[in-house]
Structure 1
Amino acid sequence: MNITLRQLRIFEAVARHLSFTRAAEDLHLTQPAVSMQIKQLEGVTGLPLFEQVGKRIFLTEAGHEMERYSRSILATLEEAKLVFDELRGLKRGHLKIAVASTANYFVPQLLAKFCRRFPGVKVSLDVTNREGLLEALGDNTTDLIIMGKPPGRIEVESEVLMENPLVAIAPPTHPLAGEKAIPLSRLQEETFLIREKGSGTRSATERFFIDQGLSLSSTMEMSSSEAIKQGVQAGLGLGLLSLHTLEMELTLKRLTILDVQELPIIRNWYVMHRSGKRLSAVARSFHDFVKDEVSEVLNLPTLA
């Protein structure tokens, strides 16, 4: 079959997004150009690769087979490029990192220091919640991921970077502010601002209270740690957030950490990638860099 790499790359993007429009945006092409390449590819195979049901498109049986082959071919070519780059001893490359939204409070500092050391490196940073990170791992679309608890259903190679304490926060004017050894059960009486479904912070919080035989009776869902901090400052309720997100608010005394028995919840940050994935020289360098430098780069508030 006379199939071009351009057609494979365009097909893979359409198959990944299940959208001609989103694929065109991703590839910086016009939608007619994408549609034309798909039609030419279908002409070569002699089979339809997509079918439309209502306003949505789906892969046909032949489309699923083509997706499997296209991903394998493109991954092999990318691996070959990495090998030849390393043989030439290049100090440049493209680093693709995906991180949990909470990790975005410290990862940019690491990336800035890394890029000063390797100025020829181009970085793509994707900040998303746990569900988005699991999707990236499943699709193997990124070099390295920094997140909390490693997934159970996807084989990964992971290493602990550092602890990630989750602490209870309140405005300084809250009645519980300044109290010592607050019973955890007392928090059941409070409204809690929590992250959206799919967030690792929310999952850890819910798991923790279940393990303690408790539950949060009143909650308000927020889409980000920033929204929770603003809501807590405004008096909407309490929050449970990573200590890594609180440096500025604690310094300016806009928020305070409550002294609650059984808290903080101690989690870990991990750096990981799919098992068996061949890391580029740049990705390996960043992997080693974050393990060595993370404690030097970060200035965390101290817990009393």
Structure 2
Amino acid sequence: MNYTLHQLHIFLKIAELKSITKAAETLHLTQPAVSIQLKNFQDQFPIPLTEVVGRQLYVTDFGLEIATAAEKILNEVHAINYKTLAYKGQLSGRLKISTVSTGKYVMPYFLSGFMKQNEGVDLIMDVTNKTRVVESLELNTVDFALVSVLPKKLKVNKITLMQNKLYFIASNNLEIRKGMSRKKIFEELPLIYREQGSATRNAMETFIANNNFSVRKTIELTSNEAVKQAVLSGLGCSIMPLIGIRNELRNKELQILTVKGLPIVTAWNLIWLKSKKLSPPAVAYLEYLNKEKERVIDEKFAWVDTI
């Protein structure tokens, strides 16, 4: 057999995502290139690795075993590379972080300087919803998680990065009847929610319940970006983190509507399990944050306090 590490990497990604298209997007390759590598890899085995039923790709039991073996092989290759760098005196290893979807507007700025200083460290960052972020932390598959609400059932350490402010927003093209109160706007216009399990969704529902608002019509979308686009299009209004709408406010595409009790103010917290034995890159990253956090906030997020 003459399969390559590149083929192992591609097949492992296909097995994880159950999709050639998604694997191609994740690996920044074309779909035909991934399909060719899968075929070349498959040709070296007498037993099918995948099968297509309808339009859905499935990984066979044999394929799952090969994927497990591929992951072990690739991990060993990474270990060899890291050991080589360690002998050269460079910090090396993987830094794994899971962040809630709105955290993608925050986390990269607190990582950029560290990654530039430590070229031997590989970064793996998963952007998902709060429920899955907490699950990844609980299963010990990541070093850190970025959340705005601390999980109640886990014993964690934390470092607070910065404030997270949520405002009631609408399209700048929204026509508001003269004399219409903000409460009426809130109750009469369609309200766009994030999906269940989202911290933003929880904050919205708590605010509505505490103020005894009645919501006439709701729309549910599964990402912060989708909510923003829906508001821009005029589908409705929403409560959103300020951090994700800077450009739209600057370009006067969105507006903040004043409602008593808003903004909701929470904080972005980087958390990790108290029982976690942190890797050298994870320890170094915490040291970097403690030293550089305030500088990053001053340089990249000073605009937040001007709203």
Q: Normalising by structure 2, what TM-score?
A: 0.65
Q: Which amino acid counterpart does residue 11 of structure 2 have in structure 1? A: F
Corresponding residue for residue 299 of structure 1: 302
Matches for 1:221-300 after TM superposition, within 5 Å: 221=220, 237-247=236-246, 255-256=255-256, 258-261=258-261, 263-272=262-271, 279=279, 281=281, 284-296=283-295, 297=297, 298-300=301-303
- Structure 2 partner of 1:201: 200
Unpaired runs of at least 5, structure 2: none
Alpha-carbon distance, 1:201 to partner: 2.2
In the TM superposition, what is the alpha-carbon distance from 1:228 to its structure 2 partner?
A: 5.4
**Residues 206/286 of structure 1: CA separation in 2 closer, same or farther (3 Å cut):** same
Check the 8 A contact 1:11/1:38 in 2, yes or no: no
Partner of 1:13: 13
C-alpha separation in 2, matches of 1:285 and 1:140: 19
Alpha-carbon shift at residue 90 of structure 1 (Å):
1.8
- Whole-angstrom CA distance in 2 between matches of 1:21 and 1:248: 31
Equivalent residues of 2:94, 2:122 under 8 A apart: yes
Task: Give the Cα separation in 2 of the matches to 1:248 and 1:48.
Answer: 49
Find the counterpart in structure 1 of residue 62 from structure 2.
Answer: 62
| Root mean square deviation, CA, Å | 5.0
For structure 1, the residue ranges without an aligned partner over 5 or more in a row are none
Using the aligned pairs only, state the percent identity: 28
CA distance in 1, matches of 2:248, 2:129: 25
CA-to-partner distance for each residue in 1:75-94, whole Å, 9 max, x for gaps? 34434533442342226787
Instruction: Give the drift of 1:176.
Output: 10
In the other structure, the counterpart of 1:168 is 168
**Retained in 2: the 8 A contact 1:196–1:222?**
yes
Indicate if the aligned counterparts of 1:49 and 1:63 stay in contact, CA closer than 8 A.
yes
- How far off is 1:36 after superposition? 2.0
Aligned to 1:50: 50
Structure 1 Cα separation of the partners of residues 91 and 236 of structure 2: 49
For residues 124-157 of structure 1, the C-alpha deviation after alignment (integer angstroms, 9 at most, x for no partner) is: 6868441796499489887755343466899987
| 2:38 equivalent to 1:34 | yes
Deviation at 1:299, TM superposition (A): 1.1
Aligned mates of 1:60, 1:197 — CA distance in 2 = 32
- Deviation, 1:259, is 4.2
TM-score with structure 1 length normalisation?
0.66
1:166 positional shift? 1.8
Taking the aligned partners of 1:277 and 1:2, their CA distance within structure 2 comes to: 38
State how far apart, in whole Å, the 2-side matches of 1:63 and 1:153 are. 36
Task: Say whether the 8 Å CA contact 1:243–1:300 is kept in structure 2.
Answer: no
User: Which segment is superposed worse, 87-96 or 291-300?
Assistant: 87-96
Once residues 95 and 6 of structure 1 are traced to their aligned partners in structure 2, the CA distance between those partners, rounded to angstroms, is 22
Distance 1:128 1:192, change over 3 A: same
Structure-1 separation of matches of 2:24 and 2:243: 37
C-alpha displacement of 1:13: 2.3
Aligned residues: 294
Question: Residue 102 of structure 2 aligns to which amino acid in structure 1?
Answer: T
Mapped to 1, the partners of 2:40 and 2:242 lie a distance apart of 51
Give deviations 1:5-62, integer Å, cap 9, x for gaps.
Answer: 555434312311323455466384452332121231x34xxx4433332333322333
C-alpha contact (below 8 Å) 2:42/2:48 kept by paired residues: no
Q: Deviations over 1:181-221 (max 9, x none)?
A: x77x9833443243466754234323553576655322345
Distance 1:52 1:251 in 2: 47
Output one character per residue of 1:79-134: Cα deviation in whole Å (capped at 9) or x when no partner.
4533442342226787676644423333444345445x628478768684417964
Query: Is the CA contact 2:51–2:57 (under 8 Å) kept in the aligned structure 1?
Result: yes
Match of 2:215 in 1: 216
Pair 1:191–1:17, CA change in 2 (3 A): closer
Shift of residue 240, structure 1, vs aligned partner: 0.9
Which whole-Å CA distance do the structure 2 matches of 1:240 and 1:176 have between them?
A: 22
